[in-house]
Amino acid sequence: QKIVYLQDYKPSDYLIPKTEMWVDFSPERTQITTDLHIERRAGVEAGTPLELDGEQVELVSIAIGDDVLGAGQYELSENGLKLLDPPQSFVLSTVVEVAPEKNKSLEGLYRSSGNWCTQCEAEGFRRITYFIDRPDVMSVFTVKMVADKDLAPVLLSNGNPMDKGEMSNNRHFALWHDPHPKPCYLFAMVAGKLDKISEKFTTKSGKNVDLNIYAEPGKAELCRYAMDALVRSMKWDEERFGCEYDLDVFNIVAVSDFNAGAMENKGLNIFNDKYVLADPATATDQDYALIERIIAHEYFHNYTGNRVTCRDWFQLCLKEGLTVFRDQEFSSDERFRDVERIDDVKGLRQSQFVEDSGPLAHPPRPSQYEQIDNFYTSTVYEKGAEVVRMLMTLLGKQTFHEGVDLYLDRHDGEAATIEQFIKCFEDVSGRDLSQFQKWYTQAGRPRVSYSTSYAAEQKLFTLVLKQEVPPTPGDDEKSPLVLPIRFGLVSNNGEDLTWEHAEGAEVQDDLIVTNEDEVTVTFHGVSSAPVVSLFRGFSAPVTLDTKASLEEDLHRARLDSDPFNRWESLQSAIMNIVAPAMDVDGPELDIELLEPVAVALSQTLDSQNLSPAFKALCLKLPTYQDYTQRLGQNIDPDRIKTVRQKVSEVVADKLRGQLVTLYSTLHLPDDYQPNAEQSGMRDLRNQALSLLATLKEGQLFELVERHYREARNMTDRQAALAIMCANAPDRAVELLDDFKRNYTEAMTVYDKWLGLNASIDDAQTIDRIKRLMDDDRFSLETPNRVYALFGAFTQGNPTQFARADGAGFELIADVILQIDQFNPQVAGRFAVAFRIWKNYESKRREAARAALERIKQSEKISPNLSEMVNKTLG
Ligand code: B3K
Ligand code: ZN
């Protein structure tokens, strides 16, 4: 396979400042006529050939001006078109035909529920027409769309609507013009039968914007919450980042077949409908929160991604990391900051940390790739966001915002790089950020260890910090990174102790900044022996290697003024006690040790100062993945499951009375609202029930069943089902039948049903999944079905996926191979399920290897899948 290297970057020889398209939709084929206004870049030699990308498009005709080109004047291949000796400045007209009905890869132009729509990022535009398909070639697009009035009453593209009208033969047209030059990956079109809801927005400078959200007929009312989130996002971006919307209309279209979550096409965002459609009967609190976030994320791209885009795909995290950071900040401002932070870090650890510890480890800004589609990873997105967050921590909020302002101003309308981004922060702060930049270019994460001592007489507190970055595949030499460490010295009564002065590292207020392998920081004038609280708010994405004593953890869990470390310390106390028993040759779990942890949990639940949402987080005991990361090697999922079950039982039994009271007395308002307050209360109540149910008592299952039957919203109903699936498979199967009959009319709910079925941990699950694949409404061609069924299985059912007999691995290998025939992006993405194969104990390891080898040896696998499988096998 061809590898693309960052160091080979070279600007395009030709530019396309203007593009005019005429698109004629008809049921069988779509014809696209394109005028490209092409110019040779200054300084490029005459006679330099022009290469246009094009895949799966059928060339009907090609002309320069009025001269139709004949064979010999251009070369055509599977990947594009080459003009051998183009003039300096000219208009190239092409007519091509594409077949959207047959397009199951969901890249380029395709049909979803009969409607036409597009997905161009990263390299889908070349499946619509010939173009220089790279993000640094920016063009002003004008598009005329023509279609049958009944088949496609709605015709949408980027930018502003300029004209529309009737034509002969029951046809009509719409003309769209986007004044902002953009790379073709931000191009979009939608044509079809759609309903909409509309809203008006006035920007801070008084400009009126029409907002529309389109959905399939009958679903428009389900877009109300998305619209509310959009309006709040627009306001927030003005207030926090000074970013004001820049077109007359902003359209969102929800489609039911979509590979990713959504796409930020200029002025015309296209969404996977599961991130738009919601009402209390079909969506959970978590669904609402995700909708809010993704709506915001795509909207925020209008500046970070669209106004300033990426020079090349290596810079993907320039737009994604920054935009994830922005959506995290938005959610934190709209909801509970502390809870959002904990949730985000949990997400980071479950996906990015795992990625970073395995064969697919890569830096947020990689330096080589085979298929860019495989690089839409949690390292690029979530770690990318952590790096931006560290910049803010390091420079302070105000200077950070000055840096972002400068970046958006200096590079407006340009395609930028990470270096240019960092330079803006250097310019506003006067700080040298060259070492900091390694966060973008180095894979893996630092392991930080520490030790402390206190000399009472001198009132001297000493902190020794060490960092080490373990090697990642193909990269043994790691340098130390700049670590912004938020910290506090927690006293006996929980107050943060002060100090007179500190030396040995840069220390300011509650921030230590170190960039060395090892550093000793001494604090003078510390009045009593503190318990140190490091990386408050998870101020750097590291792994803390030093395991604190149980007393220290419990001290922080009870008293730390930083909510993140309060939560973290409780989790770490449990993990320190429990993890050894999960080791294949480990000791039995000593349940007596859990007593003080249960006491701390109990105090947390009783606290008057903590929010229900925070308490709910604390009740979520460490996850399966938390333990696999701690253990690293020789993982036996059954053993982890048994020990986790035991821990839950012990804790549930100790807190029984409190949990029952909590469940029965926590009352919610009748009027359902998906806001943070109510969501937190529901979460706490459901968490209490969930923990209780691990006691597996008949009476408790009655309670769970009643919770299901009396639920007045999907949050509670799904929670009840999930609890049953986790603790009583037989009863769960019955309830799931009822659920299917009564609630799954909406596909979003049908998908929940699929996922719940796949999450049941019993020996029948694999057969059950095979049966579900034959269900009338299931189809491998719709990514949401695939994500629901197999995502829940590979991520949510580790014991069955990683069965010792290999049946789970085989099932997923079969499915990946089938999907790869028509949708390589989704196939490649699913291969990620195998990334931890080397960490299993030997039997499972061999079974996983066999499944991977079988994929690798299969005939005709896509380049996407091949890259993933080869890298995973290592
Ligand atoms: N930029 C898109 C991702 C497109 C995925 C392409 N394979 C959505 C987002 O991150 O906002
Ligand atoms: Zn994004």
Per-residue pLDDT reduced to its tens digit, 56-94: 999 999 999 999 999 889 999 999 999 999 999 999 999
Ligand that comes closest to the CA of residue 260: 1
Q: 707 CA to middle of ligand 2, Å?
A: 37
Pick the residue whose CA is nearest to atom 6 on ligand 1. Answer: 121
What whole-number percentage of the chain has pLDDT above 70?
Answer: 100
Is residue 299 pLDDT above 90, yes or no?
yes
Per-residue pLDDT reduced to its tens digit, 770-797: 999 999 999 999 999 999 999 999 999 9
- Residue to mutate, 301, 326, 371, ligand 1, most ligand atoms under 8 Å from C-beta: 301
d(CA 506, CA 686) in angstroms, rounded, equals: 45
Bridge partners (DSSP) listed for residue 484 = 513
Pick the residue whose CA is nearest to atom 3 on ligand 1. Answer: 263
Tokens of 421: 């981004």
Per-residue pLDDT reduced to its tens digit, 375-392: 999 999 999 999 999 999
Residue 651 Cβ contacting ligand 1 at under 6 Å: no
Residue 263 Cβ contacting ligand 1 at under 6 Å: yes
Per-residue pLDDT reduced to its tens digit, 138-197: 999 999 999 999 999 999 999 999 999 999 999 999 999 999 999 999 999 999 999 999
The mean per-residue pLDDT over the stretch 22-26 comes to: 97
Residue 327 Cβ contacting ligand 1 at under 6 Å: no
Q: 191 CA to middle of ligand 1, Å?
A: 21
Is residue 374 pLDDT above 90, yes or no?
yes
Residues 6+ apart with CB under 8 A from 767: none
Question: What pLDDT, on a 0 to 100 scale, did the predictor assign at position 809?
Answer: 98
Residue 107 Cβ contacting ligand 1 at under 6 Å: no
Look up residue 125 and give its DSSP letter: G
Q: 120 CA to middle of ligand 1, Å?
A: 9
ipTM exceeding 0.95, yes/no: yes
Ligand that comes closest to the CA of residue 295: 1
Rounded alpha-carbon distances, angstroms, from residue 169 to 151, 193, 236: 13, 18, 47
Ligand that comes closest to the CA of residue 783: 1
The mean per-residue pLDDT over the stretch 318-323 comes to: 99
Question: What pLDDT, on a 0 to 100 scale, did the predictor assign at position 71?
Answer: 86
Q: 260 CA to middle of ligand 1, Å?
A: 6
Question: What pLDDT, on a 0 to 100 scale, did the predictor assign at position 42?
Answer: 97
Q: Which atom of ligand 1 has the smallest separation from the CA of 297?
A: 11
Mean residue pLDDT of the chain comes to: 98
Is residue 501 pLDDT above 90, yes or no?
yes
Q: Name the strand (E) or helix (H) holding 717.
A: helix 714-727
Look up residue 379 and give its DSSP letter: I
Question: What pLDDT, on a 0 to 100 scale, did the predictor assign at position 518?
Answer: 98
CATH class of 447-540: mainly beta
Question: What pLDDT, on a 0 to 100 scale, did the predictor assign at position 584?
Answer: 87
Residue 123 Cβ contacting ligand 1 at under 6 Å: no
Q: DSSP secondary structure string, 781-792?
A: TSHHHHIIIIIH
The mean per-residue pLDDT over the stretch 111-137 comes to: 98
- Asked if domains 4-193 and 447-540 share a fold, the reply is yes
d(CA 523, CA 323) in angstroms, rounded, equals: 38
> CA torsion sign, 759 to 760 to 763 to 765?
negative
State yes or no: cis peptide before 226, omega within 30 of 0: no
Q: Beta 138-148 vs 14-25: how paired, if at all?
A: parallel
d(CA 352, CA 346) in angstroms, rounded, equals: 10
Q: Say if residues 463 and 532 touch (Cβ distance below 8 Å).
A: yes
Question: What pLDDT, on a 0 to 100 scale, did the predictor assign at position 1?
Answer: 74
Distance from chain centroid for Cα 864: 19
> What single letter denotes the amino acid at residue 178?
D
Catalytic residue list? 298
Residues 6+ apart with CB under 8 A from 759: 722, 725, 726, 792, 793, 796, 797
Residue 298 Cβ contacting ligand 1 at under 6 Å: yes
CATH of domain 309-441: 1.10.390.10
Q: 440 CA to middle of ligand 2, Å?
A: 17
> What single letter denotes the amino acid at residue 747?
M
Please state the φ and ψ torsions of residue 785, each to the nearest 5 degrees: -65, -45
CATH topology of domain 4-193: Immunoglobulin-like (2.60.40)
The mean per-residue pLDDT over the stretch 24-37 comes to: 96
Residue 376 Cβ contacting ligand 1 at under 6 Å: yes
Pick the residue whose CA is nearest to atom 9 on ligand 1. Answer: 263
Domain boundaries along the sequence of the chain: 4-193, 309-441, 447-540
Tokens of 846: 């061999």
Residue 291 Cβ contacting ligand 1 at under 6 Å: no
What whole-number percentage of the chain has pLDDT above 90?
Answer: 99
Q: 722 CA to middle of ligand 1, Å?
A: 30
Ligand that comes closest to the CA of residue 262: 1
Q: Say if residues 244 and 203 touch (Cβ distance below 8 Å).
A: yes
> What single letter denotes the amino acid at residue 283?
A
